[in-house]
Structure 1
């Protein structure tokens, strides 16, 4: 069983943490929703060292708790991804400018994690294929990072892409017709298989047996990936791993038709998050209103944050 470890960096709601940190003091820019996010400050070297130590400590605790592996999240616009991107990393020190410098945080975290866990404990990386934004981290950058990771003790690479500002799983913004396309990153992941020295996994919009097999099988001389991720599909239907053994089944994932594509993506995410809560309460998955889902998620987040702060205050008093 894998534990995914992550740090949101600037990509955190202000109600959750009004004092966000990031490689550079560049806030999330989403039309109509920017004020929901914290204004980040640029991280100091002490901040960076602390984050590295926290990733390492978390991996050690994961192994002690019985997990088999940890995955370091370096995709979808979160902190490590922010360091990798020239759009969000404007630093002038040894952790900015060149790709090798921007990848230093990821490499340092990997090495710190490896130093704290046993040799048999698995360590993977979730890597973005691209920012899908002009001037951002691109396919060539991702390929170069994979080459850097080949020199490290990495057991698995998962390919994804995009961020809150550019939700690639709804299709690159310049190609509206790709929003409904299934398996957004399969082609690039198959390309990476030929470069990576470790197994490659791909996730992003896979909802059918046909696309799952397409990702896993070789095509035009290129081998398929070793694993696929179907998180959103499983949120609405927990059966595909069984039914896909013998028959085709396309999981219906409700779409959001809002004109602002980025807000639609956030709504899609909150709608999917609601499904495990329903199943945990013994209910079946059920499509809910996008507006209701977003509103409910904000209220739920506020309540949980309040409970968390209250709990911390009580612990500090005792």
Structure 2
């Protein structure tokens, strides 16, 4: 098979990436109880850098220790962890690898065990999330500006630590995604209303980061193709945001889709044609690619060499975003390059008890893959036969501990 489509470097005005294979963000949950990075992150990202990826994107790094997506998130508010961040950046940039930090704020997508009173654009609860998520409080204008400033400060520290770029997480139902959605954002001030008002927060975050890092430091964005829920962020609105961000100077666009209420990014209910082509959001990319100048990435579904090569050669995208397979095969890029890769087949993580699986399926899947990352953080190999019931016990212990700690403070 001709592999030049995947091995050709990708060059733009702010970067040159050695190949077209991107390790997409996956939550590592490898921080202390105070959200400081630990040595396991260094071992994990050194392993991925050795594996041959052109670009590594970190799991979501929070800009506020009081606003976490889950226990174990790294948070960057100041320079207290600069020495460890430098070690982390150095590990992930070995072998001429790019390593970008994904910056995020969860908004209301933060479990009860982590946040007693989450914030959001509007006081709209998560549909079906009553057992796991508290109803949010609407942000004040001053709080919105504080969060914007936090994104800029975090990006400044990321650059100082030696990472080679940042990615703004504007997908999957987190805070920026909430601002973009007419369902979640029902504000009537400058931060809401029509699409221009709803994307105002994203634009200000981007401008604040750019002011801190300069014009030659890459800033990427992860954006939903759509939220896939009634009254939510639509494909047409997504394309409008893409055009605006491209004109503003964004350096790399990664497309995904869905949120906690409808997790399309996990690959649940997808069409037969999508399964055959593997990429969940490739049809969207084919519509949007010619409308923007920034390099384009699609993440979700890619497993075989052929599907990856076909997608690049189609011209619909410039890089292949891969998530779960990297948790099971960290050497995936090198194996593709040297011709020894065998397709990684991932499957839903289930305990076998249907009522239980229906209730915790998304969280169980997330935690099972986090455990694979934790193994690599300890210098071990991934274990595809890890029992899901063991993962369930870990979930109970982790969130129970987090809840206990929250009550104490």
TM-score interval w.r.t. the shorter chain?
Answer: 0.7 to 0.9
Give CA-to-partner distance per residue, 1:272-298, whole Å, 9 cap, x none: 111010122233222334344244134
Q: Tell me by how many angstroms 1:120 deviates.
A: 1.3
Which moves more between the two structures, 137-146 or 283-292? 283-292
Counterpart of 1:253 in structure 2 is: 346
**SS across alignment from 1:159:** strand
Query: Separation in 1 of the partners of 2:341 and 2:238?
Result: 33
Counterpart of 1:58 in structure 2 is: 154
Residues 72 and 280 of structure 1: is their aligned pair in 2 closer, same or farther, counting only changes over 3 Å? Answer: same
Query: Separation in 2 of the partners of 1:108 and 1:309?
Result: 35
2:186 to 83, 90, 113: 90
Query: Separation in 2 of the partners of 1:172 and 1:96?
Result: 31
Q: Tell me by how many angstroms 1:119 deviates.
A: 2.0
Give CA-to-partner distance per residue, 1:10-49, whole Å, 9 cap, x none: 000111111210011112223xx53211221001101100
Q: Tell me by how many angstroms 1:247 deviates.
A: 4.5
2:370 to 273, 276, 279: 273
Q: Tell me by how many angstroms 1:170 deviates.
A: 4.2
Counterpart of 2:100 in structure 1 is: 2
TM-score (norm 1): 0.87
Counterpart of 2:334 in structure 1 is: 242
Query: Separation in 2 of the partners of 1:130 and 1:306?
Result: 36
Q: Tell me by how many angstroms 1:97 deviates.
A: 1.9
Query: Separation in 2 of the partners of 1:142 and 1:148?
Result: 10
Give yes or no for contact 1:170–1:180 (8 Å, CA) kept in 2.
no
1:129 aligns with 2:225: yes
Counterpart of 1:284 in structure 2 is: 381
1:233 aligns with 2:329: no
**SS across alignment from 2:317:** coil
Which moves more between the two structures, 300-309 or 67-76? 300-309
1:100 aligns with 2:193: no
Bigger relative contact order (CA 8 A; separation at least 6):
2
Query: Separation in 1 of the partners of 2:396 and 2:324?
Result: 20
Q: Tell me by how many angstroms 1:307 deviates.
A: 6.5
Query: Separation in 2 of the partners of 1:251 and 1:262?
Result: 27
Residues 224 and 217 of structure 1: is their aligned pair in 2 closer, same or farther, counting only changes over 3 Å? Answer: farther
Matches within 5 A, 1:97-246: 97-171=193-267, 182-218=278-314, 223-245=315-337, 246=339
The CA RMSD measured in Å over matched residues stands at: 2.4
Structure 1 regions of 5+ residues with no counterpart? 314-318
Residues 192 and 262 of structure 1: is their aligned pair in 2 closer, same or farther, counting only changes over 3 Å? Answer: farther
Query: Separation in 1 of the partners of 2:316 and 2:225?
Result: 17
Query: Separation in 2 of the partners of 1:110 and 1:281?
Result: 35
Residues 153 and 187 of structure 1: is their aligned pair in 2 closer, same or farther, counting only changes over 3 Å? Answer: same
Q: Tell me by how many angstroms 1:2 deviates.
A: 0.4
Give yes or no for contact 2:227–2:257 (8 Å, CA) kept in 1.
yes
Q: Tell me by how many angstroms 1:61 deviates.
A: 0.5
Aligned residues: 304
Q: Tell me by how many angstroms 1:309 deviates.
A: 9.2
Structure 2 regions of 5+ residues with no counterpart? 1-98
Give yes or no for contact 1:71–1:124 (8 Å, CA) kept in 2.
yes
TM-score (norm 2): 0.69
